[in-house]
Amino acid sequence: MAMTRYGMVLAFGLLASMAAQAQESTFEIRGSDGVAITATTLNSFDDPWAMTLLPDGRMLITEKTGTLVLVGPDGARLADIGGMPDVTARGQGGLGDIILHPDFENNRRIYVSYVEREGARSGAAVDTALLSLSDSSGTLADRERIWTQTPKESGGRHYAYRLIFGTDGYLFITSGDRGQQTPAQDMESSLGKIIRLHDDGRIPDDNPFVGAGPVQAQIWSLGHRNPLGIALDAQGQMWAHEMGPRGGDELNRIVRGANYGWPVVSDGRQYSGRRIPDHNTTDAFRSPAISWVPAISPAGLVIYQGTEFSDWQGDALIGALGGRAIVRVALSGDRGEEIARYSWNKRVREIEEHPSGTLVVLEDGSGGRLLKLAPAD
Ligand SMILES: [Ca+2]
Ligand SMILES: [Ca+2]
């Protein structure tokens, strides 16, 4: 009450500057290979799940609870994007991935994935819309549903729903097994598959299983469990990782029509302890480039193309939830070799490469931070 207006302004100014200092806090990460990385905290979010970089340097970040956030290059929360679908967060799902159309600079088209409910059941869905942005706001127009996971299931596990455009101009969607396992080998089900569509949701004529049923025609590859990361390398080859059961997380090079084996083979075990035959017991399925026992719980993937981190070009950088690290894997042909881990004891949800060659990372969970990672000089 006694505080003067000037005093209040001073107090708020002080608080703001303290908050700014907290936001700008930096710390060092020392990798298992001895590489030192400076991490700068840009902001924090409510269960952040995915992000993409806009051509103007700003970012779009999804929060699992349903908000798509426009974020400044410095991490400032600029606006919540309007016109989004209604999203109910459920188990591992809610609002999921966000990507731009390859021709976004001309057509302003974006894609989001999220959980769609139907009574007690739910499944992944993908919408496309046109994004209009101002300095301090953004909204979606002409939003249209272009894909839904079939069938819907109870529970809230393994939606996966990562999105990427291939160099062929088609949209790829990772579709998790929803914890149901056997549908990953069932061609009448879109669970446990990677899906390939035109940018408007139509099914391409040259998909590997065209001519069978409508679900089969969408399928690009099968036998997947819960693929939470998909990326292209410099040659345009597609790679995806997926969580195994108890151990057996995989990184796979994704090729047309291939069967990656789940749940018939896996290098992990069932949670019950029951053994599953390893990949190397049969050549009926495509083996992973690398697998992990114990699990790292991979989420988010980039294949590094910059020069800021010298010697990392062409390596896969995998966020690890349970592994609480970024895992660096060298790729050669169809094989991968883990080179190093960079850990700061937080679950890593999402990773992107900034055009400058620095990395932008989202931690998992409530208060998950947005971090910029650069080599410590
Ligand atoms: Ca992303
Ligand atoms: Ca496999």
Nearest ligand for residue 361 CA? 1
Distance from Cα 111 to the centre of ligand 1, integer Å: 11
Q: What is the mean pLDDT of residues 71-75?
A: 97
Distance from Cα 224 to the centre of ligand 2, integer Å: 7
Residues with CB under 5 A from ligand 2 (ion): 260-261
Distance from Cα 353 to the centre of ligand 1, integer Å: 9
For 14-23, 75-84, 101-110, 125-134, which range has the lowest pLDDT when averaged over its residues?
Answer: 14-23
The neighbouring-strand residues paired with 29 are 37
Nearest ligand for residue 250 CA? 2
Q: Which residues are catalytic?
A: 158
pLDDT at 6: 52
Distance from Cα 252 to the centre of ligand 2, integer Å: 8
Average pLDDT, the chain: 94
pLDDT at 12: 52
pLDDT at 8: 52
pLDDT at 21 over 70: no
Nearest ligand for residue 221 CA? 2
Q: What is the mean pLDDT of residues 263-289?
A: 95
Distance between CA atoms of residues 128 and 141, nearest Å: 9
- pLDDT range class, residue 15, cuts 50, 70, 90: low
pLDDT at 90: 82
Sheet with 68-71: strands ordered across: 48-53, 59-63, 68-71, 77-80
Nearest ligand for residue 52 CA? 1
Q: Tokens representing 248? A: 């057996």
Nearest ligand for residue 231 CA? 1
Please say whether the beta carbons of 324 and 317 come within 8 A: no
pLDDT at 1: 36
Q: Tokens representing 18? A: 């303290």
pLDDT at 212 over 90: no
Using only C-alpha atoms, the chain has a radius of gyration, in whole angstroms, of 21
HSE value, Cβ hemisphere, 13 Å, CA-based, for 374: 11
Whole-number percent of the chain with pLDDT over 70: 94
Domain ranges of the chain: 28-375
Q: Residue 317 contacts by C-beta under 8 Å, 6 or more apart in sequence?
A: 301, 302, 303, 304, 326, 327, 328, 329, 351, 353, 359
Q: Could you report the per-residue pLDDT of 98-141, keeping only the tens digit for each?
A: 999 999 999 999 999 999 999 999 999 999 999 999 999 999 99
pLDDT at 14 over 90: no
HSE value, Cβ hemisphere, 13 Å, CA-based, for 357: 12
Omega cis (within 30) before 294: yes
Distance from Cα 250 to the centre of ligand 2, integer Å: 7
Distance from Cα 40 to the centre of ligand 1, integer Å: 19
Distance from Cα 228 to the centre of ligand 2, integer Å: 14
pLDDT at 9 over 90: no
CATH classification code of 28-375: 2.120.10.30
Distance from Cα 288 to the centre of ligand 2, integer Å: 6
Nearest ligand for residue 51 CA? 1
Distance between CA atoms of residues 79 and 85, nearest Å: 16
- pLDDT range class, residue 22, cuts 50, 70, 90: very low
Q: Report the candidate in 57, 104, 24 with the shortest Cα–Cα distance to residue 371.
A: 24
Distance between CA atoms of residues 218 and 294, nearest Å: 33
Q: Is 27 exposed, middle or buried (0-12, 13-18, 19+ CB in 10 A)?
A: exposed
Distance between CA atoms of residues 318 and 340, nearest Å: 11
Distance between CA atoms of residues 271 and 65, nearest Å: 28
Residue written as tokens 């949701």? 201
Task: Record the pTM.
Answer: 0.93
Q: What is the mean pLDDT of residues 142-159?
A: 97
Distance from Cα 102 to the centre of ligand 1, integer Å: 14
Q: Could you report the per-residue pLDDT of 32-44, keeping only the tens digit for each?
A: 999 999 999 999 9
Residues with CB under 5 A from ligand 1 (ion): 50, 52
For 1-5, 112-116, 144-148, 297-301, which range has the lowest pLDDT when averaged over its residues?
Answer: 1-5
Distance from Cα 303 to the centre of ligand 1, integer Å: 12
Q: What is the 3-state secondary structure (H, E, C) of the chain?
A: CCCCHHHHHHHHHHHHHHHHHHHCCEEEEECCCCCEEEEEEEEEEECEEEEEECCCCCEEEEECCCCEEEECCCCCEEEECECCCCCCCECCECEEEEEECCCHHHHCEEEEEEEEEECCEEEEEEEEEEEEECCCCEEEEEEEEEEECCCCECCCCCCEEEEEECCCCCEEEEECCCCCCHHHHCCCCCCCEEEEECCCCCCCCCCCCCCCCCCHHHEEEECCCCCCEEEECCCCCEEEEECCCECCEEEEEECCCCECCCCCCCCCECCCCCECCCHHHCCCCCCCCEEECCCCCEEEEEECCCCCCCCCCCCEEEEECCCCEEEEEEEECCEEEEEEEECCCCCEEEEEECCCCCEEEEECCEEEEEEEEEECC
Distance from Cα 281 to the centre of ligand 2, integer Å: 12
